[in-house]
Homo-oligomer: A and B are copies of this chain.
Amino acid sequence: MEDKPQGYAKQVEIENYIIHKIKINEFKEGTKIPSENELSTLFKVNRHTVRKAIERVRQLGWLYAIQGKGCFVRKKPSSISYPIVSKGCFSDNLNGLSKNHASKLINWTKQTAQRDEIKALKLSPEENVYRLDILRYVDEVPIAVYTSVLPEKVFPGLECHLGGFYSLFKIIRQHYGFSPVCKYQTIEATFPSLEDMELLEITNHISILKSKIINIHPDGMPVEYCISRIRGDRYKYTLRFNN
């Protein structure tokens, strides 16, 4: 009952037309499709109806728009496959894929832990945590936002090591003498928040792969709670099982 589609006649006709033209390669990768005005005269509908149709097709990942220029067919298989493994940091795991990559610390705070952080990191209430917002680039494109939550008691004086930030994993290994290991991860599909839209330079036409990760010290103690938001159009997880 809730949210069911109904009577989309004209809009869907235009959506299918565009997708079909792309599939049969009449609208080719990287080239401009007809403008909103051209399509509205072609289909004898209002420009806004065309806009709604194009918006849907963009949302499906087929198109992107540049103001003043037009609407272009997106290269489809441009996504990066990222292997999920419990050990090693982002850089190490991407190095095997020969990609340029960089990390940028957007901002950090030291505050008392919130409810979900207390639960994930097994803290007592009122304990302090560092909260780091990190933006990750691959081939100069912002691809992911991470919020990393780290207990102060495990990482005392962390702020002293954040100058010239390049890799949290390496800071931990170098200054605290261990390598965190992934214990638990959840994966879901969602949409970008307004903040993440700005950081990732995307609109709501792109979906988000959201993960929550708990990393532990080799002795078993949870030491990092990480919430990542990754561009769904450029990124894909891969999992390999060794039975």
Chain A residues packing against B (C-beta within 8 Å): 1-6, 12, 15-16, 56, 58-61, 64-67, 79, 81, 84, 86-87, 181-191, 193-194, 197-198, 201-210, 230, 232, 235-241, 243
Contacts and interface: CB of A to CB of B under 8 A. Distances in A.
A184 B4 contact: no
Contacts of A239: 84, 184-187, 239
Per assembly, the copies of the chain total 2
Contacts of A61: 190-191
A43 to B, nearest CB: 17
Interface of A is mostly: mixed
Contacts of A66: 1-3
A50 to B, nearest CB: 16
Nearest to A239: B185
A5 to B, nearest CB: 6
A237 B12 contact: no
13 contacts: A3-B58, A3-B202, A3-B203, A61-B191, A81-B186, A182-B241, A183-B241, A183-B243, A186-B238, A187-B238, A187-B239, A189-B208, A189-B230
